[in-house]
């Protein structure tokens, strides 16, 4: 049986072809405007799902990069604090060497004791250093000063200041990717008091830096050359202790540098994959746009010979 092609069928087919051409032209115009191949999930459902995963990966990478940046700031602040502590101890050593000389008078030693008291205050300030409003040696209790002072120094032997650790001895660890954490802080109790096991006493080969300066102050105030000389051993241990901790902090910064580079590479790869998946080739899009405009004009001319003039006027 031969089907009869009616004018209505020809008109409908022509209009359907025009609608497809217009729809394709609209898609190309949108791609030319956004330079994106995928502007909505329906453009490429599988590609859109993949793009969503890639965007999640980029956002996660940016969060890890922010963690590395903040942590580096804390590590550098800790390194600066330990540099300051080392300089204070070196100055205390210089004063002790000068004060142990038998030619020094009691008045001179009391004057030196005043400076040692100031060094002690400076050491407390370094131990309570902050970065981004967090006390870097306070562990997870970083909202308040980890070291508190009782008493004060004067040139009287009985007037002494003591320091207590009230922070958290745990070292903070931060996530630098989905499965890896790195150390972000040092145990302030170990660094400044030599107490790594938390038993209240310095570990073997370590000293309490605050007590070391307090004992030097007492020896100076009491005009005791022998005790002044004896304090040098503890000061030297303290300088070595700070140097060791400073080296450990430096290694943390090296790890952060490595993670910064890895995360930068990861972000570059993710963004590259996302670009290849979503971005439209500008040259191809504009070429296709010109071709589609030409095709649409040709379709309009062909349709004009099929569709009644009044209907074409209605369609505009």
Q: What is the pLDDT of residues 229-271, one digit of tens each?
A: 999 999 999 999 999 999 999 999 999 999 999 999 999 999 9
Residue 116 CA, chain-centre distance (Å), reads 37
pLDDT beyond 50 at 302: yes
List Cα–Cα distances, 110 to 87, 101, 113, 235, 284, in angstroms.
22, 14, 5, 19, 85
100: helix, coil or strand?
coil
- Flag whether 53 is in a domain: no
Phi and psi for 50 in degrees, rounded to 5? -65, -40
- Flag whether 213 is in a domain: yes
Q: What is the pTM of this model?
A: 0.75
- Flag whether 120 is in a domain: yes
pLDDT digits (tens, 9 = 90+) for 3-56: 555 556 656 666 666 666 666 656 656 565 565 666 677 777 888 888 899 999
pLDDT beyond 60 at 306: no
pLDDT beyond 50 at 119: yes
List Cα–Cα distances, 297 to 73, 286, 293, 294, in angstroms.
63, 17, 6, 5
Domain residues for the domain of 131 are 87-245
- Flag whether 270 is in a domain: no
**Residue showing tokens 């790890």:** 255
CA angle 24/28/29 to nearest 5° reads 115
Q: What is the pLDDT of residue 39?
A: 67
CATH code (residue 153): 1.20.1330.10
Calculate mean pLDDT across residues 64-92. 96
- Work out the angle between the directed axes of helices 225-278 and 209-221 (0-180°, nearest 10): 150
- Flag whether 149 is in a domain: yes
Calculate mean pLDDT across residues 274-284. 69
Q: What is the distance between the alpha carbons of residues 210 and 35, in angstroms, rounded to a whole number? A: 64
Four-point Cα dihedral 236, 237, 239, 243, nearest 10: 140
Calculate mean pLDDT across residues 169-193. 94
Calculate mean pLDDT across residues 57-77. 95
Q: What is the pLDDT of residue 21?
A: 61
Q: What is the pLDDT of residue 1?
A: 47
- Flag whether 101 is in a domain: yes
Sign of CA dihedral 42, 44, 46, 47: negative
- Flag whether 148 is in a domain: yes
Candidates 174, 65, 183, 186; CA nearest to 127 is: 186
Domains in the chain, number:
1
- Flag whether 226 is in a domain: yes
């Amino acid at each position: 049986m031969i089907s009869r092609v009616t004018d209505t069928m020809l008109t409908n087919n022509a209009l359907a072809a025009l609608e497809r051409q217009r729809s394709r032209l609209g898609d190309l115009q949108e791609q030319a405007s956004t330079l994106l191949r995928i502007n909505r999930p329906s453009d490429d459902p599988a590609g859109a799902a993949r793009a969503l995963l890639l965007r999640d990966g980029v956002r996660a990478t940016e969060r890890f990069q922010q963690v590395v940046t903040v942590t580096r700031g804390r590590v550098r602040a800790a390194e600066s604090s330990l540099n300051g502590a080392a300089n204070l101890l070196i100055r205390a050593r210089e004063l002790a060497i000068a004060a142990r000389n038998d030619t020094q008078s009691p008045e001179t030693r009391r004057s030196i004791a005043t400076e040692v008291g100031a060094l002690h205050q400076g050491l407390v300030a370094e131990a309570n250093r902050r970065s981004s409003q967090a006390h870097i040696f306070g562990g997870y209790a970083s909202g308040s000063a980890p070291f508190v002072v009782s008493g004060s120094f004067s040139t009287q032997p009985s007037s002494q200041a003591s320091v207590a650790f009230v922070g958290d001895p745990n070292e903070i660890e931060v996530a630098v990717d989905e499965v890896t954490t790195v150390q972000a802080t040092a145990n302030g109790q170990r660094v400044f008091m030599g107490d790594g096991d938390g038993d209240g006493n310095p570990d073997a080969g370590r000293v309490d830096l605050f007590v070391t300066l307090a004992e030097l102050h007492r020896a100076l105030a009491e005009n005791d050359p022998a005790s002044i000389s004896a304090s040098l051993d503890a000061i030297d241990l303290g300088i070595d202790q700070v140097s060791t901790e400073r080296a450990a902090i430096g290694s943390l910064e090296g790890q952060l540098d490595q993670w910064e580079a890895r995360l930068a590479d990861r972000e570059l790869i993710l963004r590259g994959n996302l670009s290849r998946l979503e971005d439209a080739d500008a040259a191809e899009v504009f070429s296709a746009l010109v071709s589609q405009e030409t095709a649409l004009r040709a379709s309009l001319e062909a349709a004009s010979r099929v569709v009644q003039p009044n209907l074409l006027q209605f369609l505009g």
